[in-house]
Every structure is written in structure tokens, then in C-alpha cells.
Amino acid sequence: MAQVLHSVEGGVATIVLANEAKYNAMTLGMWRQLGALLEQLGQDESVRAVVLRGQGDKAFVSGADISEFEQQRSNPDGVAAYDRAVDQVQTALAQFPRPVIAAISGICFGGGLGMALSCDLRYCSAGSRFRMPAARLGLGYAWRGMRSLVGALGAMNAAEAFFTARTYSAEQALKLGIVQSVHEDVFAHAQQTAALIAENAPLTIAAAKQAMVAMRQADASHAADVASVDAAVARCFASQDYIEGRKAFAEKRPPQFRGQ
């Protein structure tokens, strides 16, 4: 069953994205459940740090559950509702009042990469792989997600990752700045780091996080017109290429895009 699990111990909340049979692909229900959970944990002052991980060690998140797209993301209203759920999660992670750590093992693709980039700290296992495959699916990637990608990787590296949709190894991800370090046991390292954070002065940590959030928001005020980006994204979802991308994925063949 696709769901979001969590536990709290020693001031550390551990969130597990659980859809292991599909490499922890995110369903719409999971996006919404995660958004609500983050809001709940954010109000719990006993939580001093959060660790976000996938179920098992084969995937952090392989992206959105594409099998839902025909029903959930095939018309303007559905696209808007889905994007709101994703945006809520990315915003909640980025603006969570205490530090959030992404513990990445295995596949970290698409929406999973977007989630990871919204976290304060990111660690991965040696076998992890990273990819932003939107250009192979014909879907539009929202402004907030692009901002996270550019902010973490820089403009040129973000352009290469997005335009080519290539897969990066853990070592390449480290060089690009997707992760801060690579570990044999990434889950143990993330928990140890979270425990260390939980021992520190919570008001100091909260003030620092608040300042970081404010800095990112200040930078955003100088970004390109968000409305024009949203319009470009909407054109992607209304295109024949988006239909072709979904069909090609389902049929396990290379897509044939025509720019229409």
C-alpha cells in the first residue's frame, strides 16, 4: 500500500515514503499525506530535526507514479490540483522550521530529486542514482522545482541535468552539489546527524533556518515572471508530446516528440 509512515524518537522525526513495489513512486495521495504530515510535525516543538527517506534501500523516490497520470494529470484542473500537492510538499520541506535531512539510497528521480533538493541536508549511498526525466516524458516542471534545481546545481549544471535527462551516479551527484557526502550506511549517518542537531540549542537552530528561508525568498523576488513560467508549463501538459511521453513510458519504448 502506498503511504507515508513516520515515527518520532529523541527529538528526531523519521518520515518513510512507502511504495516499495514501485520504487517509492509518489501517488497523489502520498503527496497530500506528506504535506499534511509536515504541517503537523512543524507545529510539534519536540521535533528538532527530520529525516526523510524511502522504504527499503532500492529507492528514495523514483518520481511521481506515472500510472496515475491518465486519471489525475491529464486535464488542466487535474494538472493544477496535482501541482498544488507537489508544491505544498516542496514548500513545507524548504520552509520547515527545523532542519530536514534527505537520506537517499538507490533511485532518486524526478519528483524525488525535487523533494531532496528542498531539504537542508542531503546524503546518499554509493549506489544511488539521480535523474530529472521530465524532458523524456513531455511534462512541464513547475517554477519552484526549477528554482530548487538551479539553486542547488547552478545554472549550467541544472541546464545539463534538465535538458539531457541523463542519469548521474553518486560520485557525480557529489561533484554537482546534489548531495553533500556519500556513505556506506546513509541511513545511519542521517540519523546520527539528526541526533547531533537535536542536541543543539533549538532556538539557535530555528533562527538560522528562518534566516535561510528568508534569504531564499528574497532571491525569489528577483526571479523571472512566475506567471509566464506557469503558462509555459501549462502548454507542456496540453501538448501531444505529453500524451506521447506517457504512452512511450507505458509501452517501454523511446518517445517520438514533435514539439506540438
pLDDT digits (tens, 9 = 90+) for 125-155: 999 999 998 888 887 777 777 888 888 889 9
For 186-227, how does the pLDDT look when each residue is reduced to its tens digit (9 = 90+)? 999 999 999 999 999 888 888 888 888 888 775 555 555 566
Cβ-based neighbours of 73, under 8 Å, separated by 6 or more: 64, 79, 82, 139, 237
Q: Kindly list the domain boundaries of the chain, sorted by start residue.
A: 3-184
Spatial distance between the Cα atoms of 135 and 161, rounded to a whole number of angstroms:
10
Helix axes 226-237, 76-94, angle to 10 degrees: 130
The whole-number pLDDT of residue 46 equals 94
Q: Report pLDDT for 220.
A: 53
Q: Does domain 3-184 have CATH number 3.90.226.10?
A: yes
pTM here is: 0.85
- Mean pLDDT for 62-83 is 78
